[in-house]
Amino acid sequence: MKIKKEIKKGTKFGSMKVIKEVDSKIRDKRHGYRRFFLMECICGNKKIVNMEQLTRGKTISCGCVKRNFLINYNTGKNRSKENSPRWISDRTTLKKYEEKQGTAYADWRRNVYERDNWKCKIFNGDCVGRIEAHHILNWIDYPELRYEVNNGITLCHYHHPLKREEEAKMVPCLKELIN
């Protein structure tokens, strides 16, 4: 015999509180008789909810919480343009990275690969993955060296530095490798 869990009037579940238990004789083969409660949401709506849904956190409101979230999300009230924390009002200050999609970058990359015989310059047993043309002195800080073949080196995905700090530490070693 199952023990009847006590849920008192006024108990809160999410945004809803219990008004009363509803007499219901709904039988489920798996769960036996189910208990239902009349609930009142913070928005004032009333809804009949299964006890299992309440105690497991499946139902936390009459639907108003999700509805309000979707309205705000879809209309973009909280995150569009000026309200976004990432919004930059002076659009001229944005950097354009179209240069990496141009032919000059593709030619530079191909020339670096050909100079290094299409192999990682740190070639050892750890080499894995595709090869990548890496700027020894980085793209942003040294715009005059962007398309200089001697500022590039071919590295496999394993040896390519993932962080700027790692990249800065590797500069002397990488320069030595291409000379």
Encode pLDDT of 23-53 as tens digits.
Answer: 766 666 666 677 888 888 888 888 888 888 8
- Rounded to two decimals, what is the model's pTM? 0.44
Higher pLDDT, 148 or 2: 148
What does pLDDT average to over the chain? 79
Q: How many helices, marked H, and strands, marked E, lie in the chain? A: 4, 8
Tell me the domain boundaries of the chain: 12-75, 98-178
Q: What is the pLDDT of residues 126-135, one digit of tens each?
A: 787 789 898 8
DSSP E strand stretches across the chain:
12-13, 16-22, 27-28, 32-33, 36-41, 46-50, 131-135, 152-156
Asked whether 18 and 9 are in contact (CB, 8 A), the reply is yes
Over residues 119-124, mean pLDDT = 84
* The pLDDT of residue 110: 94
